[in-house]
Structure 1
Amino acid sequence: MSFKVYGAEILDVLLRLGEWELRSISIEANKCAFLIARSVTKEQRLQPYVAQGEPEWLRRCLDEDRARR
């Protein structure tokens, strides 16, 4: 299935929700999620972190994020 088809399917679901909003967030503001996504795609980390245990870099990222809030 192409990305265009996925996009159309997502849009169809969003339109049925009624009210929704799309926001852009910087990588820095959402650093942990960005690093997780990158580790899945670049490191082929396909098993959940819960099953394998979180890597040290993720623990540090979450601790830093928690301290900022």
Structure 2
Amino acid sequence: MANLRVDKAIFESSSPYLREAFLVNPAPGLNPLINMIMLRFHGFSEWDTDLVLFESNKVAAFIANSVTRDHRLQSYIGSGGPSWLQTLILQESGLDSS
């Protein structure tokens, strides 16, 4: 997000535990990771975390899975993304005519 020069962001997660870790005291074993992420958050002029049901945000989940599974180190979304992405976006938006 910082590389894209985004200054305000909302980070969504389907995990209530993750959101709680950012807003309350994280579990002791997570402190170093949470602290590192929080340092990144403070680079934004405004940020928030929202809890979103998995069913309401399948596009983000599929992108995250493909990134980690395929070891994608560069963003492929800006170049149009994989062929399945546009179909999934249309389905989730309710604009799919199939």
**TM-score normalized by structure 1?**
0.62
Query: Is 1:5 the counterpart of 2:42 in the alignment?
Result: no
Where structure 2 has 5 or more consecutive residues not aligned to the other structure, the ranges are 1-28
> Which residue identity lines up with residue 5 of structure 1 in the other structure?
P
Match of 2:89 among 51, 62, 65: 62
- Are residues 45 and 22 of structure 1, via their aligned partners in 2, closer, same or farther at CA, if it must alter by over 3 Å? closer
Q: Indicate the structure with greater strand content.
A: 2
Aligned pairs, number:
61
Task: Find the counterpart in structure 2 of residue 29 from structure 1.
Answer: 56
Identity percentage over the alignment?
31
Structure ranking higher on relative contact order (CA contacts 8 Å, 6+ apart): 2
- Output the TM-score relative to the length of structure 2: 0.47
SS in 2 for 1:28: helix
Give 1:47 shift. Answer: 2.2
Work out the CA distance in 2 between the residues paired with 1:67 and 1:40. Answer: 25
* Unaligned 5+ runs, structure 1: none
